[in-house]
Amino acid sequence: MPWAKYISVVLASMVKFVAGPLAGLALSLSWWETAICTVVGMMLSVVIFVFLGSAIQQLIARYRKTQPRLFSKRSRLAVRVWKKSGMTGIALLTPLLFTPIGGTLIAVSFKVPRLTVIAQMLLWGTIWGVIMSFGLYQFRSLV
């Protein structure tokens, strides 16, 4: 049964990074188990979308009824971050703002090499996974 808890945290963090630590806390996992599962979930999502990102973007474009807005708040933010700090900035903000899927698709759209995307996302995903998990568990013990 513990594997079901781990899989739940992995699946939650594949879609929304912060959902991983929250799910781990709710399922009574230790903070380090939560951090590991959160990073694994994010990286599964990153690897899938790094290798299938272009195809997914083309598929969405084919079936989209209306053209997407060229300049949305999110696309302006992504371009601003890209201009200031490149892939490092995108990877740094992916767990906080862009979600693993969104951050990876942004990197793919800027034609960043696959290995660079995976390495940067792993680095910053690990850092944020540990910070969020440990911080959330410490906050819970205070309350």
Q: What tens digit of pLDDT does each residue of 56-108 get?
A: 878 888 888 887 777 788 888 889 999 999 999 999 999 999 999 999 989 98
Exposed e or buried b per residue across 20-44, where buried means at least 16 C-beta atoms within 10 angstroms of its C-beta: bbbbbbebebebebbbbbbbbbbbe
- 53 pLDDT band, cuts 50/70/90, is confident
**pLDDT higher than 70, residue 1:** no
What is the DSSP-derived secondary structure letter of residue 68?
P
Q: What is the DSSP string of 5-38?
A: HHHHHHHHHHH-TTHHHHHHHHTT--HHHHHHHH
The structural domains of the chain, with segments of one domain joined by +, span 2-142
Q: What tokens were used for 79?
A: 């371009």
Helix runs in the chain, H state only: 2-15, 19-26, 31-63, 73-93, 99-109, 114-142
Computed over every residue of the chain, the mean pLDDT equals: 91
